[in-house]
Structure 1
């Protein structure tokens, strides 16, 4: 008697996952974009971090940290509670972690496209980064690798108001550790924690315990980069940066940087870590509160800065009739001359990331 294998049941409620494109590669793996088509026809997008077995501890640590920070402001959100274990085309074991997709890309590319950002945008981004750091530090963690590349942008668009803005969130917690602990990333050849251009003086001291102010120095480098459109320590080698930090030097702040922004960055660059204060205290710095409208109780909340888009008029003739319909004698004198108008639409900040349709 011939036996037939029973066909597996298809779960129509389970979303179908499809690869869309690669988003980038890093030290501990790669990130790809996947689409999920649900049974009702709707499509969702998630970024998936992929790591090999050699870096399993890093991605596992990241998921644990993100799970504890779930729902907190300024933190990228994980999708799921566990890692997905699979086998790649070479038969090697890989681990995957799904997180929310940032259609706006990261701050590194945003700065590269827009160069120097406007003061309102810099202040708004800085405020959101600090809100994320408050969440991280309140749980006793130190991020250890804060940099523009690890800050993701999420576009928020209000079609009715023709208004859009960006929400910025902290990602990549692969190096995150508990405050007061020694980083497992200390190495003989590169004795520092984090990325060289954004590392603090205490980051180059081999064997030192990692504390929360380390992230605030990195924040100062990020704010400085948003102000001038260039990396801190641009043109310097890793060894040069290390020696300058050990000599008590900080990245140079150009004279073009506004006074309140300069004071904020200098606060972050305090040589003694304890003089930088905390993320909560920096949220109250005049640099971030100079334009805030405060009520009688002192608890006013500043509205998030957005990028307002004004569409150009479909017919220039309508605008001309409205402007030149006055019976003023001044207009009569030139009424026999041809009228020329050039209307330029408002120019929003540019981004080279196009949202997936």
Structure 2
């Protein structure tokens, strides 16, 4: 557009709000300084219209420099507006690489504290809210925390629809999609936390470089296409694909972000159609309801309710166009103008703008951006295959065949990792120490030194616990993070039970006379763990750092060539050797290792492979099941709350709203879990929820309270405490009278006394438990070791759930405790207590089989 020396009467000025990025257009603007108010965030800013500028030129800045931290990650003063493209909220990544990063603004704390998270700094602001870098305390990991803007959080209908769609997006799990971790409410503010991607967006990359070479651009877009294909296969459409929402991490992995506008098939209303933005014809309103005009498909410009997955194909084609040419496919000063060009103006092929763009690649973009959706690629899978063929990442057989040089490099890195001298020495020292300690403890036990044998075992246990904590704090391994998450999710009742159990253990140590021996052994074990950590673990980590960095560079090169992430990881697993698992886990994580192992070992063609720390897997699987139950309950409560508020806003009575909300929330959770598990081709539309009533009735709730985990945990604590007190009263614990008599008999070579002690122990003639001040009838049930075994059965039942299971386990524990008082007739060598133990155990194990983990 030609510029004049001064703005004439009727000049049009387009500018972005420096607070929220909202785009507004001023007509009849005259030279000077003004203080307009942004219609998006209702905050004033300073606008300067130069005397020598033409249409579309103005400078917007924050009126009060002290509030500069509220801008989009940097002060925007003296930055000319760009009327070509609608500004969008910055993503949750750093705005620029370290060498060009602007001065950090002053941190503006959020208006609401979010339990379980510690907010560290603001990352950006957009139309829907503010994104913060926060730390999730339970897992000690960085996350991007997005708080919904107050004006949207106050609309129950918008909140309900947004929560549903965010919940659906949270079911997606793919290397090329930013994972949504949690959705919730805190102090009246709606929020969701998502994976934090350290790096930058492709928009930042374009701002730095201007344009990319064709191979690099196609490699990035291909990764995004794979993530979008995963979402499309599960019935979801993104609707806001653009460079700002494609994040590039430090390892060359592209992730699709900002699924706030994701559309679920069957949902015919845009995300903001019931929200405040729907009534405003300004640019923010258009973005909230439809997407970003510079990247919107023609059908999305006309009617957002009619879009399907082909709209994302068009937007991805626009993104590839920008990456290749450095400019958007269509320009304009207003959103309406840009959208009109998308709908009706022919596209200039990118090869005419940048000569190095190949004609065949330009043809692919033209097909992706066809005006008629029927003329585009039929699905994102076809886009992926076309881009892969252009990059040549497939062999004639259809799969990836690595070069010999790549295999040699990987094998060298894996060998250097596995054979790091400090790591090998640590393994030998720890294994030798464990074997030697166990052997010495057994020898002491053989000679009757029970307390000293127990102290050695305690030192070994304390060494293992201390090493687990120290290495977990440093490397944050999967077991440490899961245990930490599990502990953070415990309620006050569960924590009270754990504290009572710890107190009971200390009491038993004191009664057995082994407390001080155990405490001293614990100090020794802690000292050994600190020494191993300092002199071996840190050296091993330092020696393994170079092979890991080399492998990361190799992986980054493969990703840049367009190789699928699953094939990248399978390549590493296949050629990392027999002891590949620890090396692979250090690169990609524990969960990815399990998935890759299932593929690698399929058919037995991978040869002999060793598992790394396989003892962790049952424990982690159990914790994951518990966390899944917790998450489902938390999600159900959140969905019930937002659905209830929506229904009440529509005029439904409170009681009826609660009933409908409970049914709807249960159906949404159930359907989302089903879609997550089924294969993509079999995935049903995620919005076709079955609203059949599933809430438990009053009888089921009462039974659940009577046989639930709290009751069983309390019963286990009572039984174990009673067994310990009974054993102490009768001198049956290690270090008590019977043990001292046996040791004295061995030392004096008094075989008669030794035989007498053994006979008394075999006859189990110990008296029932008696507690001063308590009626004998209330403690007489503690009269054998069966009481402790029943307590262990109840402890084991805490790993399962289900009313029938709880009822059978409680009945089985009762038989174990009191079965020998039922008049059961036995023959030698069986006794009544043995029969009661067997019958009760059978009933309890039947209960375990009926329960769910």
Q: Which residue is 1:103 aligned to?
A: 198
Cα 1:19/1:134, change in 2 over 3 Å: same
* Alignment match, 2:298: 201
Q: 1:22 Cα shift?
A: 0.7
1:179 counterpart residue number: 265
1:96-135 paired onto structure 2 within 5 Å: 96-135=191-230
- C-alpha distance in 1, partners of 2:242/2:161? 18
Aligned CA distance change for structure 1 residues 275 and 155 (closer, same or farther; 3 Å): same
Whether the aligned pair in 2 keeps the contact of 1:180 and 1:210 (CA below 8 Å) is no
Matched, 1:146 2:276: no
Relative to structure 1, is the Cα distance of residues 16 and 121 closer, same or farther in structure 2, using a 3 angstrom cutoff? same
Q: Is the 8 A contact 2:331 2:338 kept in 1?
A: no
In the alignment, the residues of structure 1 paired with residue 371 and residue 266 of structure 2 have an alpha-carbon distance, to the nearest angstrom, of 19
Deviation at 1:252, TM superposition (A): 5.5
C-alpha distance in 1 between matches for 2:393 and 2:349? 32
Q: Do structure 1's residue 213 and structure 2's residue 310 form an aligned pair?
A: yes
Q: By how many angstroms is 1:16 displaced?
A: 7.0
Q: Partner residue of 2:537?
A: none
1:78 maps to 2:180: yes
Give the distance between the partners of 1:16 and 1:193, measured in 2 at CA. 33
Structure 1 residues 57 and 121: alpha-carbon distance in aligned structure 2, compared to 1, 3 A threshold? farther
2:346 maps to which residue? Answer: 249
SS at match of 2:143: strand
Gap change, CA 1:221 and 1:168, over 3 Å in 2: same
Contact kept? 2:116, 2:136, Cα under 8 Å:
yes
**Matches of 1:76 and 1:281 in 2, distance apart?**
23
Pick the aligned partner of 1:294 from 385, 394, 399.
394
Distance 1:210 1:33, change over 3 A: same
Secondary structure (helix, strand or coil) at the match of 2:290 reads coil
In the other structure, the counterpart of 2:408 is none
Q: How far did residue 245 of structure 1 move? A: 3.2
Change (3 A) 1:44 1:180: closer
**Alpha-carbon deviation of 1:57?**
3.5
Q: How many Å separate the matches in 2 of 1:168 and 1:216? A: 17
- What residue number does 1:169 align with? 255
CA displacement 1:257-279 (0-9 Å, x = unmatched):
33232112101111221221210
Distance 1:108 1:35 in 2: 26
User: How does 1:259-298 map onto structure 2 within 5 Å?
Assistant: 259-277=359-377, 278-285=379-386, 287-298=387-398
Cα deviation, residue 49, structure 1: 0.9
- Does structure 2 conserve the Cα–Cα contact (< 8 Å) formed by 1:153 and 1:169? yes
Q: Can you list the C-alpha shifts for 1:52-71, whole angstroms capped at 9, x where unaligned?
A: 423534641343122221x2
SS of residue paired to 1:24 = strand
TM-score by length of 2: 0.30
Aligned equivalents of 1:207, 1:305: Cα separation in 2: 34
Query: Which whole-Å CA distance do the structure 2 matches of 1:86 and 1:97 have between them?
Result: 10
Q: Give the Cα separation in 2 of the matches to 1:17 and 1:28.
A: 20
Contact 2:351 2:359 in 1 (8 A): no
Displacement of 1:147? 1.1
Q: How big is the shift at 1:170? A: 1.1
Corresponding residue of 1:60: 163
Compared with structure 1, are the counterparts of its residues 253 and 237 closer, same or farther at alpha carbon in structure 2 (3 Å cutoff)? farther
Deviation at 1:281, TM superposition (A): 0.4
Task: Report the RMSD for the aligned CA atoms in angstroms.
Answer: 2.7
3-state SS of 1:132 partner: helix
Supply the distance in 1 between the matched residues of 2:394 and 2:338 (Cα, whole angstroms): 41
Partner SS, residue 134 of structure 1: helix
When residues 148 and 291 of structure 1 are mapped into structure 2, their CA distance, relative to the original with a 3 A threshold, is: closer
Q: How far apart are the structure 2 equivalents of 1:263 and 1:210?
A: 23
Does residue 25 (structure 1) correspond to residue 280 (structure 2)? The answer is no
Deviation for aligned residue 1:153? 2.0
In proportion to residue count, which structure has more strand? 1
| Alpha-carbon distance in structure 2 between the residues aligned to 1:237 and 1:227 | 24
Specify whether residues 167 and 19 from structure 1 end up closer, same or farther in structure 2 by C-alpha distance, changes over 3 A only. Answer: same
CA offset at residue 181 of structure 1? 4.3
Contact 2:177–2:256, Cα closer than 8 Å, also in 1 = yes
Aligned length: 271
Residues 17 and 141 of structure 1, relative CA distance in 2, 3 Å threshold: closer
Cα 1:297–1:274 shift into 2, 3 Å: same
Q: Name the CA shift for 1:178/1:79 in 2 (closer, same or farther; >3 Å).
A: closer
* TM norm structure 1: 0.68
Rg larger in structure: 2
Match of residue 321 from structure 1: none
1:29 deviation in Å? 0.8
Q: Which residue of 2 aligns with 1:45?
A: 142
Offset of residue 254 of structure 1: 4.9
Say if 1:197 and 1:233, in contact at 8 Å, map to a contact too: yes
Distance 1:180 1:250, change over 3 A: farther
**Structure that is richer in helix per residue:** 2
1:336 maps to none
Using the TM superposition, name which of 195-204 and 114-123 deviates more: 114-123
Q: Where does residue 323 of structure 1 map in the other structure?
A: none
> Residue by residue, what CA displacement relative to the aligned partner does 1:203-233 show, whole Å, maximum 9, x if unpaired?
1223751211111110111001101122332
2:791 aligned residue: none
